[in-house]
Amino acid sequence: METVFSKIISKEIPAKIVFESENVLAFHDINPQAPVHVLIIPKTTEINSVRNFIAGAHDKIIGEMLSAAKTIAKDLNIFDSGFRLVINNGADSGQEVPHLHIHLLGGRKFTWPPG
């Protein structure tokens, strides 16, 4: 499905990219909710959310996305202080973009439960 994220992957829309590998892209969120707010996405457009994640077929990509999160947290100096990873799925979560993405948030203290 074409979304704003597929246009970022194809470079039709610019983004501040912080990490890129064969299968994963990560860039700063346009509307940051913390001093560090990065979106980590698969380059494939076939996974809209965890709801259409296919066991077996997609296991590798989620591992690569978490590995990217660790690398980026170190690169952006939030690894030691701590950070939050969020994946919104569907209407109740507030998901806006139907392309699987991990929010990597850090640089401030977060509350629990989340809003």
In this structure, the strands spanning 24-28 and 36-42 are antiparallel
DSSP annotation of 14: -
- Smallest gap from Cβ 102 to ligand 5GP, in A, equals 9
Longest dimension (CA), the chain: 37
Site string for ligand 5GP, 38-77 (x = CB under 6 A): -x--------------------------------------
What are the Cα distances from residue 109, in Å, to 36, 61, 83, 105, 114? 12, 29, 8, 10, 12
101 is catalytic: yes
Of 23, 29, 48, 67, the residue at the interface with ligand 5GP (CB under 6 A) is 29
Residues marked active site are found at: 101
Under the rule (CB under 6 A), what is the footprint of ligand 5GP? 4, 13, 15, 27-31, 39, 88, 94-97
